[in-house]
Amino acid sequence: MIGILDLQGGVVEHLGHFKRLGVPARRVKTLEELDTLTGLVLPGGESTCLGRLLRIFGLDAAIRRRAAAGLHMWGTCAGTILLANEIEGETPHLRLLDITVRRNAFGSQLDSFNTVATVPEVAPKPVPLTFIRAPVITRVGPGVRVLLEVRGATAAVTAPGILATIFHPELTPTLAFHAYFARQCGLTPLLPASGPTDPAWSPEAWTQLAPLPGPAASG
């Protein structure tokens, strides 16, 4: 089972991609929900907010313990910031990956962009990539391998038990990174006939997995 940290940020988009691959996945909010996982996704969002919520709910220490015990981790965008040993000019959070990151390195929200790149270890064909107020990995420590560089910057890395991407595969039709992480977790993804992309995906596809509104309060 793969969990998606459900405190803030892009949760349902990740759930949707794992569902397309036939990989069991669920939201994770509590300490107890960490115990049955083989992998945990730290989604994109706002890293300062996510880091504070991790501390408030005591999930930071629990995640570090589970990672030491073999829980696989994947950080996307803000999730990569959470994993980093060092954040330029700021206090780091989980310190699980020997990298240094610089927040908002590509610029503001208006500087977000889409591109296409080839990541041979992840997919045989080029895949679409979405960068939203993305950080940059400015230093890679021993034991960390670079999977992708974009515009001269390190954009994806892997280390034993950890994957980190500064972009958002869950916001594109590519299933390749989710399948790659599932295989790292020892799970078998079921790629559709179309291969590592889902032609039926749309930017609104996440809405089918969004929580339904509760009953209106009376008064």
Please give the positions annotated as active site.
77, 168, 170
**Cβ contact 3:39 at 8 Å:** yes
Tokens of 192: 């559709």
Longest dimension (CA), the chain: 61
Phi and psi angles of residue 216, each rounded to the nearest 5 degrees, phi first? -65, 140
Amino acid at 158: T
**Cβ contact 101:124 at 8 Å:** no
The rounded distance, in Å, linking the Cα atoms of 11 and 218 is 30
Give Cα 40 distance to the centre of its chain: 9
The rounded distance, in Å, linking the Cα atoms of 159 and 145 is 6
The rounded distance, in Å, linking the Cα atoms of 39 and 41 is 7
Three-class secondary structure of residue 130 per DSSP: strand
Who contacts 218 (Cβ-Cβ below 8 Å, separation ≥6)? none
Q: Is the dihedral of CA 39, 60, 9, 105 positive or negative?
A: negative
